[in-house]
Amino acid sequence: MALLQEIPDIPASAEAARIGGWVCFGPGNPGTGPGAGLGSLQTSKVPSRGAESRPPLLGPLQSLDRRPAPPAPTRGTPEGSGPGAAPRRGVRPRSARSGLRDLPGPRARPATPPLRREEPPQTPGPVPDVVMAQWDSAGDTGQGPQGTTAGPPRASGVSPTKGIASGPPKTSGVSPTKGIASGPPKGSETPPPKGTTTGPPEPSAAPPPKGTAAAPSSGTTTGPPRGTTAPPVRASGTPPGPGPSRRGGLREGDPAVTAPAPKVTKVAVVRKKVVRKKVVRKKKVVKKKPEAPAAPEEPPCPPLGLESLRVLDTQLRASSHKRHGLGAHRGRLNIQSGLYDGDFYDGGWCAGHEDTEQWLQVDARRLTRFTGVVTQGLNSIWTYDWVTSYKVQVSNDTHAWLPSRNGTEEAVFPGNTDPETPVLNLLPSPLVGRFLRINPQSWFPNGTVCLRAEVLGCPVPDPHAWPPPPPPASQLDFRHHNYKEMRKLMRRVSEECPDITRVYSIGQSSRGLRLYVMEISDNPGQHEVGEPEFRYVAGMHGNEVLGRELLLNLMEFLCREFRLGNPRVVQLVTDTRIHLLPSMNPDGYETAYKLGSELAGWAMGRWTYEGIDLNHNFADLNTALWDAEDNDLVPHQFPNHYIPIPEYYTFANATVAPETRAVIAWMQRYPFVLSANLHGGELVVTYPFDMTRTYWKAQELTPTPDDGVFRWLATVYATANLAMASGERRPCHYDDFTRFGNIINGANWHTVAGSMNDFSYLHTNCFEITVELSCDKFPHASELPEEWENNRESLLLFMEQVHRGIKGVVRDSDTEQGIPNAIISVDGINHDVRTASDGDYWRLLNPGEYEVTARAEGYEAATQPCRVYFENVPTPCSFRLARARGRHRPGRSRPGPDPALRLQRLRLRRLRAHGRGQ
């Protein structure tokens, strides 16, 4: 708020004074001094910058003393300020943006002393002519002439904000309410100046500018804001504080000093209630302009195929090597070494010299845009060797080499810090060429120059070459599916073929992910008498992902071909109940999936979330069987099939994964006949037994009584697999399985105690083999179509083997009802099977003639010959058993279970109980 100054007599003056945007001209000499002759005023409006948008600044009344006062320093005016005084530190000079023009006369005036509030007299007196001192728009900053400070002292030490009216010191710290202006008190007896009209000013037709104070309404006197106390006004008789006069007031020596002091009435303070209204502004809905479609991102380049053997040994060269087992052909990502030091097939490439001139070279056989390199150290249980940094060069002729540069310098890429963890380095900019070299620069101090590698690159189109043949058209979803995407695909297939599919869950993983199974049959959800049940299991090791994707593609293929009327698929679905478990270890898969194809390594994601290898987590039934055989207890005192689970396996503290418990319960629920467990990391098919009979041996041929059947089943899959049957393929790691037809006894490869193959064979009727699908555990998505073509026929042909052998139903001769748990024995084979709940059974056999015996508790045994033909059609071989006399109570329709079955059921019940308690 501004100040309302009372000036008793205003003599004529030649000086032109600008007060609040008004310039007063008089006849006096403009250079005679301050306050000389202010009579006969003539006014002319001089617009000041921003004045039209500022509210008038009105303050309390102030009487100016006519007596001279010695100057005194104040807070707002330093001592010694005035005309010619140098500005002191902390006093802000006059701003160039103040809007005050230089007036004639002295260039600097004395600073205004601080205003003191004085009590007004009780009796009114005459009011002299009044001049409103309006602050310039820039005067709100509290600045006077250059080098001085105008206005009352600031209580907070901060200049008033621009655009806010200044006033007396606030007692409550609240600024005056916007829109309330101060004026003369209502009811004052002081007559107005001559020639003026009393009363409030007439309202203007035009609204005041935004930010200015609105004129008070008639009969209303505004004061300080609500909650504050109006400051008292000093009477005219009280001398003001020392110091020079205020700008625009009278100065010492003026003629008007001798005039009588005016009497000022007491100000009546009337508070006006300010009502705040909440204004709800409608949000403007800005319609976004349709963005231009983003350019499709270019997919990253796939690996050339060092790990998957698409790059042949002849395409790899090196500057030197220690020995043939450590040559360039061994420098492949994730390649494994043998158990012995100095094997002919070792775990990487090792240079013959330890210097920075060594290199490993890859020939892409065509122009390629190289984008990255993945490296590992040497795989060995005897030494630690890896490269810690290297350079990369490309060439078209192996003579002129272009290095990869990072700006103007040759790029040096960081290598490995351990032998097994893959490290990916993307090139700063892709390099185009046919050959690529990896040039090691530093290596593990206690080791030597050894590495394994994979190269990422995209082939460059060759306009002069014949276009490659188009890939086979397929509607299958060839990509890697995480857990959510797998569920969506299974749901989609089930919706496309609801008449032949059913999705169900057999349990949960350690982290709560469900183990989903897709059933494909002409009557899903129902076991049909005489129809065998088949299963595929994949993803036991989470990082071996190819089996998972093959089963998902198999679901799509069977659904599509059945709808198209493919006779082979229609017959397979009609005569077989198929169960597909694509992910037995979903927790491990999610771990490997996050790292990706090339960075998952050889073991990351292999185990469950609890760190359990599921292929070693099933109950060891082999040891109990072999101990009983050594003591001649089989089969009269110890069974050769349906062997009960050991008691220690049912303890509460037994280390049994929830995934394992779920699969065991699944085996008990369905009478599976044939199964395959899909793995990765090799190209071979293994069959039981997986555990060596001599416990201290790591490798030993340990066949089952059905060794001939298992060898046939393994051969069927291996010979139909295009990758295994290829005569040009090389060994994946250190074993050459092509010498044995790409099949091997599991224990003769390496011993595995507690495998699912052995457990399935000894605890149920199911014959199960293990299929190692590829050298690469986690092939790139670009390789999935080729892998599907390699395994499609094998998957179909192996499922059809479930119909090989004999099948039939064992019934009660009196009631014609099926007899469950009847034992089917084949002469010459020390392994029996049992009938299902409806009395039906299936026994896998190779072509030939067999003597088959059926017996059950409380019935007389029956034997008959059965012949198996070469056609893939089961031979019917059913039995009707008569009740044994004197071996059952009268009126009892069904015999009780034998002791072995009672023990088996008791152990299974305990196992399930502890599984629910965890």
Enumerate the active-site residues: 772
587 contacts 608 by C-beta, under 8 angstroms: yes
436 contacts 369 by C-beta, under 8 angstroms: no
Joined together, the tokens standing for residue 909 give 């019940």
End-to-end CA distance of the chain: 78
b/e per residue, 630-656, with b = 16+ CB within 10 A? eeeebbeebbbbbbbbeeebbeeeeeb
Amino acid in the structure at residue 638: F
Our CA angle for 850, 853, 858, nearest 5°, is 175
Amino acid in the structure at residue 762: L
E strand spans, 779-902: 806-812, 823-826, 829-834, 840-843, 848-855, 862-868, 875-876, 879-881
DSSP state letters, 652-670: TTS---HHHHHHHHHHHHS
Residue 571's φ and ψ, nearest 5 degrees, are -65, -40
Query: Which residues pair with residue 437 across a beta bridge?
Result: 361, 393
391 contacts 428 by C-beta, under 8 angstroms: no
Q: How far apart are CA 177 and CA 334, in angstroms?
A: 78
Query: Using the 8-state DSSP alphabet, how is residue 779 labeled?
Result: -
Measured CA to CA in angstroms, residue 666 lies from 257, 504, 660, 662, 669 at distances of 115, 11, 10, 6, 5
Residue 258's φ and ψ, nearest 5 degrees, are -85, -5
| Residue 159: Cβ within 10 Å count | 15
Our CA angle for 55, 60, 66, nearest 5°, is 120
Length of the chain: 918
Q: How far apart are CA 769 and CA 774, in angstroms?
A: 16
Amino acid in the structure at residue 770: T
| Helices 784-800 and 707-720: angle between axes, nearest 10 degrees | 140
Query: Using the 8-state DSSP alphabet, how is residue 898 labeled?
Result: P
DSSP state letters, 451-503: EEEEEEEEEPP-TTSPPPPPPPP--S--S---HHHHHHHHHHHHHH-TTTEEE
Residue 154's φ and ψ, nearest 5 degrees, are -85, 135
274 contacts 16 by C-beta, under 8 angstroms: no
Q: How far apart are CA 685 and CA 678, in angstroms?
A: 10
CA atoms lying within 13 Å on the CB side of residue 442 = 10
Instruction: Indicate the SS3 state at residue 851.
Output: strand
Joined together, the tokens standing for residue 252 give 């010492």
379 contacts 335 by C-beta, under 8 angstroms: yes
Residue 187: which of 235, 231, 233, 219 has the closest Cα? Answer: 219
CB-based contacts of 679: which residues, under 8 Å, 6+ apart? 540, 541, 544, 547, 770, 771, 772, 773
Instruction: Indicate the SS3 state at residue 516.
Output: strand
Measured CA to CA in angstroms, residue 322 lies from 336, 351, 354, 547, 759 at distances of 17, 6, 11, 37, 45
Helix, strand, coil fractions of the chain, as percent rounded to 5: 20, 20, 60
Q: How far apart are CA 14 and CA 90, in angstroms?
A: 35
Joined together, the tokens standing for residue 381 give 């249980």
CB-based contacts of 471: which residues, under 8 Å, 6+ apart? 785
- Residue tagged 């409103």 (tokens): 132
Measured CA to CA in angstroms, residue 516 lies from 484, 503, 732 at distances of 12, 7, 32
